[in-house]
Chain A
Amino acid sequence: MSVIAEQQRPDLREPKGWRRASNRIATSLMVLAFVLVIIPLGFVLVTVIAKGASAINWSFLTSQIPSEVAPPGVGGIGPAIAGTIVIVALASALAVPLGILGAIYLNEYGGTGWLAKLIGFFSDVMTGVPSIIMGLFIFSIWVLHFGFSGLAGAFALACLMLPIVIRSTYEMLRLVPDSLREGSYALGATKARVTVTVVLPAAIGGIVSGALLAIARAAGETAPLLFTILTVTTVNWNVFSGPNTSLPSLIFANANTPYAGAQSRGWGAALTLIAIAFILMIVSRMITARFARFQR
Chain B
Amino acid sequence: MSTQTKADPASPAGSARPLSERRPLGDRTFQIITLAAGLLVLVILVLIAVATTQQSTSWFSSEGLKIFTNNWNPASNDFGALAFIYGSAITAAIALIIAVPVSIGVALLLTEVVPYRWSRPIVYVIDLLAVVPSVVWGLWGILVFAPWLQHIYTSIASGVGHTPVLGPLFGQPVSGASFFTAGIILAFMITPIVTSLSREVIATVPAIDREGAYALGATRLEMIRGAVWPHSQAGVVGAVLLGLGRALGETIAVALVIGSSPAITSHLFAPGYNIPAVIANQFGESSGTFRAALIGMGVLLFAFTIIINIIARAIVNRSTRRMRGA
A137 and B47 form a contact (CB under 8 A): yes
B133 and A248 form a contact (CB under 8 A): yes
B219 and A187 form a contact (CB under 8 A): no
B38 and A255 form a contact (CB under 8 A): no
A residues less than 8 Å from B128 (CB atoms): 41, 278, 281
Q: What is the distance, in angstroms, from A39's C-beta to the closest C-beta of chain B? A: 10
- Of the candidates A121, A133, A188, the one whose C-beta lies within 8 Å of that of B10 is A188
Q: A47-B140, A129-B249 are in contact. Are A98 and B40 (CB under 8 A)?
A: yes
Q: A109-B31, A220-B134 are in contact. Are A131 and B251 (CB under 8 A)?
A: yes
Interface residues of A in 3-53 (CB under 8 A from B): 12, 15, 19-20, 22-23, 26-27, 29-34, 36-38, 40-41, 43-45, 47-48
A interface secondary structure, majority? helix
B276 and A132 form a contact (CB under 8 A): yes
- Of the candidates B24, B31, B41, B132, the one whose C-beta lies within 8 Å of that of A126 is B41
Instruction: Count how many chain B residues have C-beta atoms less than 8 Å from C-beta atoms of the other chain.
Output: 95
Interface residues of B in 1-52 (CB under 8 A from A): 9-10, 12, 23-24, 26-27, 29-31, 33-42, 44-45, 47-48, 51-52
Q: How far is the CA of A144 from the CA of B133 in the complex (A)?
A: 28
B283 and A226 form a contact (CB under 8 A): yes
B residues less than 8 Å from A106 (CB atoms): 38
Q: How far is the CA of A226 from the CA of B279 in the complex (A)?
A: 10
Query: From A38, which residue of chain B is reached at the shortest CB distance?
Result: B125
A108 in contact (CB, < 8 A): yes
Query: From A223, which residue of chain B is reached at the shortest CB distance?
Result: B251
A105 and B37 form a contact (CB under 8 A): yes
Q: How far is the CA of A43 from the CA of B136 in the complex (A)?
A: 12
Instruction: Count how many chain A residues have C-beta atoms less than 8 Å from C-beta atoms of the other chain.
Output: 94
Q: How far is the CA of A106 from the CA of B256 in the complex (A)?
A: 40
A273 and B134 form a contact (CB under 8 A): no
Q: List 18 A-B contacts (CB under 8 A).
A: A44-B132, A101-B33, A108-B34, A110-B38, A121-B314, A123-B41, A128-B306, A130-B249, A132-B249, A136-B295, A137-B48, A188-B9, A248-B252, A255-B142, A255-B143, A263-B143, A274-B136, A285-B124
Which B residues form the contact surface with A (CB < 8 A)? 9-10, 12, 23-24, 26-27, 29-31, 33-42, 44-45, 47-48, 51-52, 54-55, 101-106, 108-109, 113, 122, 124-129, 131-140, 142-145, 188, 191, 195, 217, 219-222, 224, 242, 245-246, 248-252, 255-256, 276, 279-280, 283-284, 295, 298, 301-302, 305-306, 308-310, 312-314, 317
